[in-house]
Structure 1
Amino acid sequence: MTVYYYLFDVQAIGDHDVTALPLRRRKSLLRPLLTWSDPLRLTAYRYRDGETYYRDACAHGWEGLIAKRVDSSYQHGRSRDWLKFKCERRQELVIGGWTDPRRTRPGLGALLLGYFSDGDLVYAGKVGTGFDTRTLEALARQLTELRTPTCPFTRGAPPTGSGVNWARPELVAEIAFTEWTAEGRLRHPRFLGLRRDKPAREVVREEP
């Protein structure tokens, strides 16, 4: 398998620091350093029609685009001169419960999700897509071990009644979604997987 490494910027050429130069100039310096016979490739970019490029990127299944001011210097860390536009937002959320499956669906119906804010677990919605059979069954086993009679959500309005089960808020899921609604709910959420590396108490709402 051939592996290519795509470059989109340059910080130094030889011993010469070019981070203070504007982006347009840095790209013009980077381009002649790369050839199509080299495993190092230049990432495609445009100076205009950004909205069209973004729509095309999303239609092709890309994660999104990064937009940079053409006159900006190279800046370490985050900057208002460099903006990320995701086709699909992602957010870690805590699993605080689940619903029973319907008909022939195995394991569970949907996960009840939330995030922490000032010590409260805020209900953010439920997700019922993105699972295969093995994942549904594995999640059902894990959540059964975390079952609790008390609703862990202290803000928001999670569903209640028959078919709703509560869990100690210990598991963290990564969720893809299109946007937050005005009511603070996830729109079109999709389960991507569990995050074993992130403590539940560190999960907060990342975007307004």
Structure 2
Amino acid sequence: MPDLRPMLATRGDHVPTGVEWLHEVKWDGMRVLAHLDGAGGLRLESRAGNVVTAAYPELAGLVDATAGRAAVLDGEVVAMVDGRPSFSVLAERIHERKPARAAALAAARPVTFVAFDLLALDGREVVERPLERRRRRLEGVLEVGGEGDHWLVPPTYADGPGLLDATREQGLEGIVSKRRGTAYRPGLRSRDWLKFPHRRRDSYVIGGWRPETGGRERIGAVLVGVPTPAGLLYRGRVGSGIGGRVGPGLQAALEPLARSTSPFADEVPRIDAAGTHWVEPTLVVDVEALGINGDPAASGARLRQPAYRGLRSDVTPDDLLPDDALPGAGA
């Protein structure tokens, strides 16, 4: 099967209109490529290229749903709660690889694979074909609607501004607008796909962690930054959302990454640096905030009222580099 990487969307300024655009719901989940080898094998790969098949045993039925054909499907793994995707529920499953535990979680909190593109079929890439043709082939290849299905092909819409309003009212993450006649550009970020999220949730890299107040060596906050060509720029301290069972797991992931010096390229304020355990900047987390004070691209900008939303094993720090620092930027 071809070696492919997901195409990435660029954050848009305004929702485009016109017949050359189609619009989809933006799903609050984990980007996954489903590789079906045509001989009964299924491999699920995250955006970072990690194999995550064991985490989602309920998706094994994709083999039968595609009639055993060799194919590569692009989509999002989501966990539905009351009819809406919940990334916090999905986060409990992302890192699970033990078969028994994964099966128990699949029974209790099943996921859905939302397939929105077809990249290869019967061993041949179809990425150069226009988006509309790929979507039609996808709808013909993936059988949906059966009892107990854990996959679907979502509808597309012609009215982007209307869909944006509807998803806001329904509490969904947002929309993605795509040019109908364009090819799929594996691994590249393009303005042929524009994303419009309602909530300001972004990914950041952890550069250190601070213990809880009171002298306990239990994690109370993380220090996060944004990668740039000049290095990791500090964006603030995030403590909200790390309590309960989240903290110990995050701390266990950070402790092996300990280092003696700050990984940030700019100066961390003394009040934040005091007592911080510095770590190698390799772990990516999602953070929600009310915005950023200052120029988002400059040193000194800070997140406003940030809250931790989960560890992203499917994203690497390189994935967070600015659009103009990525291959194919502006394509």
Equivalent residue number for residue 285 of structure 2:
174
Matches of 1:153 and 1:131 in 2, distance apart?
Answer: 22
Corresponding residue for residue 154 of structure 2 = 43
More moved, 134-143 vs 185-194: 134-143
For 1:189, which of 291, 306, 309 is the aligned residue?
306
- Determine the C-alpha separation between the residues in 1 that align with 2:163 and 2:274: 43
> What residue in structure 2 maps to residue 90 of structure 1?
202
Q: Which residue number in structure 1 is paired with residue 218 of structure 2?
A: 107
1:73 is aligned with what amino acid? T
Is 1:67 the counterpart of 2:182 in the alignment?
A: no
- The separation in 2 between residues aligned to 1:25 and 1:198, in whole angstroms, is 29
Is there any run of 5+ residues in structure 1 with no aligned partner, and where? none
1:158 pairs with 2:269: yes
* AA matched with 2:308: F
SS in 1 for 2:247: helix
Task: Give the equivalent residue in structure 1 for 2:240.
Answer: 129
CA contact (8 A) 1:125 1:158 kept: no
Question: In 2 relative to 1, CA 147–76 (structure 1 residues): closer, same or farther, beyond 3 Å?
Answer: closer
Secondary structure at the counterpart of residue 275 of structure 2: strand
Name whichever structure is richer in helix by fraction: 2
Match of 2:185 in 1: 76
| Cα distance in 1 for residues equivalent to 2:140 and 2:321 | 39
Structure 2 unmatched runs, 5+: 1-106, 296-300, 324-331
Per-residue CA deviations over 1:93-121 (Å, capped at 9, x if unaligned) read: 1233426437xx99354322234556754
Cα RMSD of the aligned pairs, angstroms, is 4.6
Counterpart-to-counterpart distance in 2, 1:8 and 1:204: 21
Aligned pairs, number: 200
Amino acid at match of 2:321: E
Say which SS state the counterpart of residue 271 (structure 2) adopts: coil
The 1:116/1:158 distance shift into structure 2, 3 A limit, reads farther
Give me the identity figure in percent.
26
Which of 154, 164, 175 is the equivalent residue of 1:54?
164
Of the two, which has the highest radius of gyration? Answer: 1
The whole-number CA distance in structure 1 between the counterparts of 2:122 and 2:155 is 24
The structural deviation recorded for 1:126 is: 1.0
- Aligned to 2:163, the other structure's residue is in SS state helix
TM-score (norm 2): 0.44
The Cα of 1:82 is off from its aligned counterpart by 1.6
> Matched residues in 2 for 1:186 and 1:76: separation?
32
Residues 173 and 8 of structure 1, relative CA distance in 2, 3 Å threshold: closer
Deviation of the 1:43 alpha carbon: 0.8
CA 1:168–1:32: 2 relative to 1, 3 Å: closer
SS for the counterpart of 2:167 is helix
Task: Give the aligned residue type for 2:239.
Answer: G
Structure 1 residues 59 and 93: alpha-carbon distance in aligned structure 2, compared to 1, 3 A threshold: farther
Contact 1:96 1:114 in 2 (8 A): no
* Offset from partner CA, 1:15-47 (integer Å, 9 cap, x none): 998766544455456656756448564312211
Q: Is the 8 A contact 1:106 1:136 kept in 2?
A: no
Equivalent position of 1:8 in the other structure: 116
Q: Aligned AA for 2:223?
A: L
Alpha carbons 1:97, 1:164 under 8 Å: kept: no
